[in-house]
Structure 1
C-alpha cells in the first residue's frame, strides 16, 4: 500500500499554531470532551490530558462516572462536570469551539442521548471515536443524524475508528478491513461523509474532498489501551486552537495523527519502548515535539 498512497506530511502546518504575544486562553479555544462511563473514566482523563497538554485554552470533560466527576489531583486544570440528561442546556452554557465524544463513553441510553445531542449541535468541529462509533454502527437514527449533519456542515466531523470499529460500521469483519484498508477507508467516507482516520499500522486519513494519505510514522509500542484516546484529545486540542489560527478540521486532524505517531517513534529512539510505551509518556513527548516545531 505504501507505493500507492501519498505520505502524510502535516507537521509543516504546526507553524500556524504559534501564538502572538497578546493571545489568551480564548485564542486557544474551548474543547468539550464527553465520555468516561463507570469503569472507563481513565479513557476520558487520558483524552483530557492530551487536550490540555497539546494546548487547548479550556479543556472541559462531561464525565459519566459519578465517582470520577470531581477535581482530578494529577491535572487540576481539567474542568470536570458530571454528565446529566440536560444536554441542550450544557451545550448552550458551554458554547464549545470543538466537541469530542467517545473515550470511555459506554453504550447506555444516556450515552446515546449525548451522541444524538452533539450530532444536532451545529457548525463546529466534531470528533467521534470509540463507543460513539459503536453506537452509530448499531443505530440507523444516529447514522442518519451524522449524515445529515455532514450535508449541512461539510468538513466538520471526523471519525477515528480502529479496524474493529470500522468493521462494525461497515458490517464486515476486522480481517476484511485489514485485508484492504484503503477500500475500507473509502467505504467509511461514503457511509458517513466524514473525514475518516483508519487507525493501525500506517494510519490512513482521507475525506470526501481529500485523497487518502498514509502516515509513515508509528511503531508496535502504540498497540496499548489509551493510545486512541490521546489521539482524540490531541485532535480536539489542535482543532480548538485552529479555530483562530487558520487551521480547519482536516488540517488539525492531519497534524495530530502525524504528531501522535512521531512522538511514539521519538520515545522508542530514546529507549522508551516499544514494549511498555504508555499513552501518558506519549502525551508529554507530543507536547515537546509540537513546541520544537513552532
Structure 2
C-alpha cells in the first residue's frame, strides 16, 4: 500500500526537500519533467510520426506549467517536434517555471500564444500542464484556462492523445471532484506519489492510465516530513494468506455468525454465508427467521442454523461467535433493532450492513451506543453503507458526499467512532483515527444486487479469524474487487459478472 498525497502535503515535501538537502527546488522540476519526457518519447517512438508535431504542451502559470516547459525543452533537445501553447503569455510565472520558460525560448523552442494559430494543427500528443495540483475546486477556472481546455478538447476530437501532467486540470487533487470543463486524459503522469484526486472517484475516471514517475524522495523522508496522522493509502494489494498447520482444525479458524434473511430475502444471507466460508472460517452460523430456514439449510448444509429470538428473549443455542454481521436482508422487523442494541456493547467484531444500517439510522441514541463501544476499548464496529444508506445515517453530510467521498467517510467514521466502508467506485475505508484507504480493485460488474452481501460475508469471515478488524476489512474490500476483476477477465466482460461469479473467483483472488 502506498501513501496518497494532498496538494498541501506535496507542497510541504517540495519545500522541506530543499531545506533538508540544500538542493534547489528546480531540481525536482527537472526530475519530474524528465520522467514525463521519457514517457512521452516512449509513446511517440511506437507510433507513426506523420503528424506535424509529436507533442504540443499547454502550460499554466504555476509549477505544473514549469514541468511542461522543462519537458518540452528536453524533448526539443532530443529532436522531437514540439511546441508550447502559453496559456498566460503576459503573466510572470512562478520562479522555477519562469526560468524554464526563458530557457526554452532561448533554445529556439516554438511558442504559440494565439488560439487561431492552433487551428488545423495536428499533434500526436497534447500535454495538459495548466493546473496540476494547483487547481482548487473552490476557485473558478480563469477565462484563459477555460479557453485552453476547450482547445485541448478540440485537438482530442481531431485525434490527439491527451497526457495530463500530475493530474488532469480541473480535478481537485484533494477530493477528486472535477469541474465540467475537465478533459479526460488518456494518460496521467504523476510525480513522486500519487495524489488523492487521481485515485478517488470521480477524479480516477478522468486520469486514464496513471504512470508514477519517482523523484528524489524516499518513503522514509515522506513519512518523517508528514507524520502518521490521517494517512490516506491506496489499497492495491492484499496481505499474504497466512499458512495453516497441516493438523489444523475448525476450532482454530473462527466462528462467524450472520443474522438476517427476512422472508423473501434469504438469498442475501446465503450469498454472505458462502462468501464468508470462502475466507476459510471454521464455523458458519446463521440466525434467520423461521420461514427462511429451509432455504438457507438447503443452500448451505454445512452451516449451523437458528431462528431469531421472539419477544424479549435472547438465544444461546449456537457456539459463541468470534465475529457477527447483522442486517443482511434483515428487513425492518422489531427484532433487528433489539439485536443491534444487544450486539453493539459486546466485546466481539460487529459488522452492520444493509437493513441493519437502515434500522440504525432510525434508532434513538445509535451514535452514542457506537461511541460508548469505542470508549470501552472494544474493536470498532464496521458500517458498510452504499451512498443511500450513508445519507440515511448522516443526512447532514449530503453536500460532503457529493463533493468529497473521502472526507464524507471520515465524517461518519468520526461521528460513529467506527470503521466505515463507503461502497462504490474506489470504495473508501475510513478509520476512527482519521486514517483512510481508497480501493483500486473492482469494476462495474459489482453494480448488482447481492455484491454488498458478498462483501459483508467476507469481512465477517476474515474478522472471525484475526485480532485485527482493520486488516480484515481492508483485505476483504480489496479481494472482493479483485475477484470481480478476475471474473470479468474470465468471462471477457464486466457486464455478465454476478455476485455468484465473484464468490467463485475468490479462491483465485486469494492466491493471486
- Under a length normalisation based on structure 2, what TM-score does the superposition of the two structures give? 0.53
SS in 1 for 2:298: coil
Partner of 2:240: 14
Which of 180, 191, 195 matches 1:3?
Answer: 195
The reply to whether residue 100 of structure 1 matches residue 100 of structure 2 is no
- Give the superposition deviation at 1:261: 0.2
* 2:324–2:349 Cα contact (<8 Å) kept: yes
Structure 1 residue matching 2:464: 3-state secondary structure: helix
Return the match for 1:40 from 261, 265, 271: 265
2:490 and 2:249 map into 1 onto residues whose CA distance is 34
C-alpha displacement at 1:155, in angstroms?
A: 3.3
Q: Within 5 Å, which residues of 2 pair with 1:67-78?
A: 67-70=291-294, 72-78=297-303
Name the residue aligned to 1:270: 490
Q: Judging changes above 3 Å, is the alpha-carbon distance between structure 1 residues 200 and 251 closer, same or farther for their aligned structure 2 residues?
A: same
Residue 92 of structure 1 deviates from its aligned partner by: 7.8
The structure showing larger relative contact order (alpha-carbon pairs under 8 Å, at least 6 residues apart) is: 1
Whichever of the two has the greater Rg, that structure is 2
Whether 1:127 and 2:351 are equivalent positions in the alignment is yes
Q: Select the residue among 440, 444, 450 that pairs with 1:226.
A: 450
Displacement of 1:287 after TM fit?
2.4
Quick one: distance in 2 between partners of 1:254 and 1:277? 22
User: How far apart are the structure 1 equivalents of 2:461 and 2:279?
Assistant: 6
Summarize the alignment of residues 23-172 of structure 1 with structure 2, pairs less than 5 Å apart. 23-64=248-289, 66-70=290-294, 72-85=297-310, 89-91=314-316, 93-120=318-345, 122-172=346-396
Q: 1:217 to 1:197 in 2, by over 3 A?
A: same
The equivalent of 2:502 in structure 1 is 282
8 A contact 1:10–1:254 mirrored in 2: no
Match of 1:255 among 460, 469, 475: 475
- Supply the distance in 2 between the matched residues of 1:95 and 1:112 (Cα, whole angstroms): 21
Shift of 1:75: 2.3
Q: How far apart are the structure 2 equivalents of 1:169 and 1:160? A: 11
Separation in structure 2 between the aligned mates of residue 178 and residue 87 of structure 1, nearest angstrom: 41
My pick for the range that moved more, 18-27 or 134-143, is 134-143
Following the alignment from structure 1 to structure 2, what is the Cα–Cα distance between the partners of residues 191 and 137?
A: 13
Name the CA shift for 1:10/1:206 in 2 (closer, same or farther; >3 Å). farther
C-alpha contact 2:270 2:299 (8 A) present in aligned 1:
no
Report if the CA contact (8 A) 2:285-2:318 is conserved. Answer: no
Asked if structure 1 preserves the Cα contact closer than 8 Å seen for 2:337 and 2:363, the reply is: no
Q: Deviations over 1:89-121 (max 9, x none)?
A: 42585311001111111111111111111113x
The answer to whether the Cα contact below 8 Å between 2:236 and 2:440 also exists between their aligned partners in 1 is no
Residues 272 and 453 in structure 2, CA contact (< 8 A), matched pair in contact too: yes
Which ranges in structure 1 are unaligned for 5 or more consecutive residues? none
**1:205–1:96 Cα change, 3 Å:** same
How far does residue 85 in structure 1 lie from its aligned partner after superposition? 2.9
Match of 2:421 among 175, 193, 197: 197
CA-CA distance at 1:125 after TM superposition: 0.8
Q: What CA distance in whole angstroms lies between the structure 2 residues aligned with 1:152 and 1:10?
A: 32
Q: 1:147 to 1:91 in 2, by over 3 A?
A: farther
Alpha-carbon contact 2:259-2:325 (below 8 Å) kept: yes
Equivalent residue of 1:241, what SS?
coil
Indicate how the Cα distance of structure 1 residues 230 and 165 shifts in structure 2: closer, same or farther if over 3 A, else same.
same
How many angstroms apart in 2 are the aligned matches of 1:84 and 1:41? 17
RMSD, matched Cα? 2.0
* Residue range with higher mean Cα deviation, 80-89 or 66-75: 80-89
Matched residue count? 284
